[in-house]
Amino acid sequence: MAFSFDVHIASAEECLYRGKATGIVARGKLGDIGISFGHAPLLTSLRPGTVKVTDIDGKVELYYISGGLLEVQPYMTTILADTAERAIDVDEKAALAAKKAAEEILSHQDKNTNFAQADLQLIKAVAQLKTIKALRNRSG
């Protein structure tokens, strides 16, 4: 049996996960980061993407987060997300529409366009679509 640690994933709206896990994979600023029992203490920011939690029974839970912070303490790992939702709850039609709208904004060369905001919208929409794809690949 693998060693486990407590995990808490929350956003301003709700607590999405609270329980024991044997591993977490999340999207850090410099790439994916894996956390397992005994990981060194850490505080890092997270990018929009999928968070994968493996519980003590080996079941993998997937979540989408729009960004946030990950804190690792000796027996507890916490993810405080800007916004978060279970992968199964991500609205694919809304993500596709947001992606299309962001791409449309970015394709125009207008001095009044907020390119940073459109770019962030595109990044979040693509991350949501990747989360949906990961859920589908896991399911079958």
Domain of 63, CATH number, reads 2.60.15.10
pLDDT tier for residue 140 given thresholds of 50, 70 and 90: low
Ordered DSSP codes for 68-95: EEEEEETTEEEEEESSEEEGGG--HHHH
pLDDT tens digits along 20-55: 999 999 999 889 999 999 999 999 999 999 999 999
pLDDT at res. 5: 96
In a shared domain, residues 46 and 72: yes
In a shared domain, residues 68 and 107: no
- Output 78 or 113, whichever has higher pLDDT: 78
Q: Which domain holds residue 118?
A: 91-139
pTM of the model: 0.89
The domain total for the chain is 2
- Which of the 8 DSSP states describes residue 41? P
In a shared domain, residues 45 and 104: no
Residues 6+ away with beta carbon under 8 Å from 87: 50, 62, 63, 64, 131, 132, 134, 135
Residue 98 has pLDDT above 60, yes or no: yes
Domain of 97, CATH number, reads 1.20.5
pLDDT at res. 39: 94
H-only helix segments in the chain: 92-107, 115-139
In a shared domain, residues 74 and 100: no
In a shared domain, residues 53 and 30: yes
